[in-house]
Copies of this chain bind each other. A is one copy, B any other.
Amino acid sequence: VLVPDALGMSRIARRPGLRGVRYELGTEPTADQADARAIVVGMPDVEAATAFIGRLPSLSLVQTLSAGYEQWLGRLPPGVALSNAAGAHGAPVAEWVAAVLLAHVRELHPFAEAQHEHRWDHHGTGSLHGKKVLILGAGDVGRHTARVLEPFGCAVTLAGRSSRDGVRAMRDVLDAPGDADVVVLAVPLMPETEHLADASFLARLADGVVLINAGRGRLVDTDALIAEASSGRITALLDVVDPEPLPSDHPLWGTPGIRITPHVAGATPGLWERGWDAALDTLDGWARGEHIIDLNGYSEAT
């Protein structure tokens, strides 16, 4: 297994079924590296990584340390599978969703402004209690988000690729999102999900809805969102935007009803350690011959 960093080398040393070999991008693979059957990738230069991967004839698996994997889709050689660090980042991202949603309903930003002005601005606020929350994406992030929001008395609906116990079919939910008070985007970015939240979807949402993007910026049509938020019909709480980083002169920064954090939902202590633990659990199973979900072919396969 090719390993890009020292943390990974120390982590893989504890896994008797795996042998780690350190690699650096921008070099030719050595003979030992060229024998590698799997490679772990962090957040590298995708062009350089793709070139390196193309020179590994024995490779059968690319394993990410992140939950997102959109940069690898369609870029891997035929027969090379793609696996993400599922399970690593759901908890911190769900924590971010709860944080920004609670701050919004309990009006913490206006109260901070009142404090700045030494103003005792007592008035009632909203609450999550009884709110209908629709989570698009029933994977690691979606399920963690449901688990932390439900104790606040929300009614949570999960939507996933296919309908199953406790999960509604995404297609049905996108066509008729109903009267959800809160919609959380927690799906991977793929050709089918790009601009999932376009003008037509946003128009189908109830007046006053809170849209939360915990996935990738390109899930949302930014221009359409700016139009709906400017009219006051939609509030949006965004950790990811399109483009990223957001240029200082971009209109999204100052659009009323839009709150932005700079792609920090998963950026909590232990980020890379969690990524490695999830990646190595998958690689352990793969080395024992277990089936790996190939995300590279996933969108066509299901």
Binding site for B on A (CB under 8 A): 91-92, 95-96, 98-100, 102-103, 105-109, 111-112, 114-115, 118-129, 147-148, 151-153, 244-246, 248-250, 253-254, 259-264, 267-271
Contacts and interface: CB of A to CB of B under 8 A. Distances in A.
A268 B118 contact: no
A19 to B, nearest CB: 31
Given A91-B129, A98-B102, A127-B269, A259 B120 contact: no
A98 B100 contact: no
15 contacts: A95-B102, A99-B99, A99-B106, A102-B103, A103-B103, A103-B108, A111-B264, A118-B248, A118-B253, A120-B248, A122-B263, A124-B271, A125-B267, A129-B269, A151-B151
A100 B125 CA distance: 14
Contacts of A91: 129, 152-153
Contact of A148 (B99, B152, B248, B267): B152
A268 B111 contact: no
A95 to B, nearest CB: 6
A109 B261 CA distance: 10
Nearest to A122: B262
Contact of A111 (B115, B250, B261): B261
Nearest to A245: B120
Contacts of A119: 248
Contacts of A105: 99
B246 A126 contact: no
A223 to B, nearest CB: 18
A3 B50 CA distance: 75
Contacts of A115: 253, 259-260
A237 B99 CA distance: 15
Contact of A106 (B96, B151, B262): B96
B103 A268 contact: no
A69 to B, nearest CB: 20
B245 A122 contact: yes
A168 to B, nearest CB: 22
B148 A268 contact: no
A142 to B, nearest CB: 15
A148 B127 CA distance: 14
